[in-house]
């Protein structure tokens, strides 16, 4: 499965798709990028005259790249169905260090903590274009192919 196929299997579409590119994926981790464009609705009113990307959106971006995209890859490698993928986020613990503004590109790196019984837990980090740590933490979820 190539990186574009993983993105195509994601259960999201614009404007709620926060994955532009996947850079690398292995059995132990994944990395990918996203650019937060100024036309996103969540910037309207989120800090007057100085819009900042909400932490929940940064967390969602890390989850889409570092958990869901990675989970699709791992399930495919294990021979599981990835058609109609379903995801249930089970926990997040994120620390924030720097703001992300509109038109900034971020890099998400995720490393597998464990993947068993379709539960994936990852250590995730987000970096800005200056390679500064924006946020990091742990994200876990249950991943399954859709059953009839």
3-state secondary structure 25-73: ECCCEEEEEEEECCCCHHHCCCCCCCCECCHHHHHHHHHHHHHHHHHHH
**3-state class (DSSP) for residue 131:** coil
The closest alpha carbon to 39, from 12, 11, 15, belongs to 15
Active-site residue (options: 11, 21, 46, 101): 46
Judge whether 61 and 110 are in contact, CB under 8 Å: no
For the chain, the straight-line distance linking the first and the last C-alpha, in angstroms and rounded, comes to 23
Report how far apart, in Å, the C-alpha atoms of 110 and of each of 47, 54, 97, 122, 140 are.
29, 20, 17, 6, 11
Asked about 37 being catalytic, the answer comes back as: no
Catalytic residues: 46
């Amino acid at each position: 499965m190539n990186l574009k196929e993983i993105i195509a299997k994601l259960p999201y579409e614009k404007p709620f798709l926060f994955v532009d590119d996947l850079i690398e994926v292995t059995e132990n981790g994944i990395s990918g990028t996203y650019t937060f464009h100024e036309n996103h609705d969540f910037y309207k009113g989120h800090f007057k005259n100085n819009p900042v990307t909400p932490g929940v959106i940064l967390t969602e971006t890390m989850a889409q790249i570092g958990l869901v995209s990675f989970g699709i890859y791992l399930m495919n490698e294990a021979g599981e169905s990835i058609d109609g993928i379903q995801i249930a986020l089970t926990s997040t613990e994120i620390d924030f260090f720097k703001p992300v503004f509109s038109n900034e590109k971020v890099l998400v790196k995720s490393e597998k903590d464990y993947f068993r019984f379709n539960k994936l837990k990852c250590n995730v980090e987000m970096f800005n274009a200056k390679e500064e740590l924006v946020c990091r933490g742990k994200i876990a979820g249950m991943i399954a192919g859709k059953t009839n």
